[in-house]
Amino acid sequence: MQEAITAEGVEPVETEEVEVGAPQPKKKKRKRFRFSKRKFKRGLFIFCMLAYPVFQFLVMWAFVNVDSILMTFQQYDTLEGWKWVGLDNYKYLFELIALKPAFKTLIVNSVLHSLVGMFIIFPLCLMISYFLCRKLPASGFFRVIFYLPSIIPLVVLALGFSNMVSGSDSIIYKLYEGFNLDDPALLAPPKVRWTVYGFTIWAGLGGNLLLLSGTIKRVPQEVLESARLDGTGTMGELFKIIIPMIWPTLVTMFIMSMMGIFSVVFQPLFLTNSYLDDTATLGLWIFINAKDNSGNAIAATFGIMATIVVAPIVLITRWALDKMFANINY
């Protein structure tokens, strides 16, 4: 306690008593940036690993899609270049769909290719994969045979298939000739459409077959053995055990099969060596029209319109399929 002299007299003043030897509070030191060669190398490695995918996303997805959307509101003039035309491209396409029968056939063909993928190729792949995974005799040989079309270039595959079904030296022609029947003309209208569907089924089995076989093999054998001991048959094992356990993979593959409405592009062109209205698809029509600036705008417009129609259907289908079975981790 200390005393302070003021005008009114002497007043006591309280002071803090400091114990001898008590630790004094330390001052916080500012952290200084220190260059670390190890941290620099780590950051450089991360940057290099992310630079390419980010660049690819910005250029191949963001820029391309934004440019395609803007292109739908423009037209190319040889003298003036690109000019803004508003909704003229959309009006032109609606007129094509309403008035041109060949355009309706093009849409029907694409939808049928999607249905073939969903309800023929996809179930066939599932059944074949299941029986191959049961280690039947020569299952490895048949797996190679089914997968072989996926590793052969599409041009070579289409050429081999066309020589097999058409021409005087083809197997089909010799078969018809043996029964004194006329040439079936499988690559000419109107039968050419069904020939293209058959080629799509034959060529589309391999990739899905390999993926499904690997997925089915991941199912624990203990679960399958337990089901067999309980008297579960072959079809019961497939539909009650395997399908629910691999359901997320099946949903993804089914959605990819729906994309057949856009993914069938060169199959009709390579198989027939020409653009035919009976076999043309949306993807092939966009490819044919997107060869110069004047056709790019129409092709982009049709692509945007098709996406607006198809995207909600795909999302609703995905949502509905995800609700059918619970996600199982094993």
Give yes or no for residue 196 having a pLDDT over 90: yes
Across all residues in the chain, what is the average pLDDT? 84
Q: What is the pLDDT of residue 29?
A: 59
What is the rounded CA–CA span in Å between residue 184 and residue 258?
31
Q: How far apart are the first and last CA of the chain?
A: 76
Same domain as 111, residue 221: yes
- 115 belongs to a structural domain: yes
Please check the confidence at residue 121 and state whether its pLDDT lies above 80: yes
In a domain, 281, yes or no: yes
CA distances from 27 to 16, 22, 24, 30, 290 (A): 20, 16, 9, 10, 70
Q: Which of 111, 96, 270 is nearest to 192 (CA)?
A: 270
Q: Are residues 272 and 126 in the same domain?
A: yes
**Do 65 and 190 reside in the same domain of the chain?**
no
Residues 58 and 159 in one domain: no
Task: Say what the pLDDT of residue 211 is.
Answer: 85
Domain that holds residue 62: 37-71
Residue 327 resides in a domain: no
Residues 124 and 63 in one domain: no
Q: Do 62 and 124 sit in the same domain of this protein?
A: no
- For the chain, what is the domain count? 2
Q: Are 143 and 208 in contact (CB under 8 A)?
A: no
187 plus 316 within the same structural domain:
yes
Look at residue 40 in the predicted model and tell me its pLDDT: 84
Residues 165 and 224 in one domain: yes
CATH of the domain at 125: 1.10.3720.10
Pair (305, 224) in one structural domain: yes
- Determine the Cα–Cα distance for residues 13 and 222; give it in Å rounded to an integer: 86
Q: pLDDT band at 16, cuts 50/70/90?
A: low
pLDDT band at 151 (very low <50, low <70, confident <90, very high): confident
DSSP-based three-state secondary structure for 275: coil
Sorting pLDDT into bands at 50, 70 and 90, what band is 9? low
Give me the pLDDT at residue 24, please.
Answer: 58
* Greater pLDDT, 209 or 1: 209
| Residue 25 banded pLDDT, cuts 50, 70, 90 | low
H-only helix segments in 31-138: 37-56, 64-71, 88-99, 101-116, 122-133
User: How does residue 99 score in pLDDT terms, banded at 50, 70 and 90?
Assistant: confident
114 and 200 housed in the same domain: yes
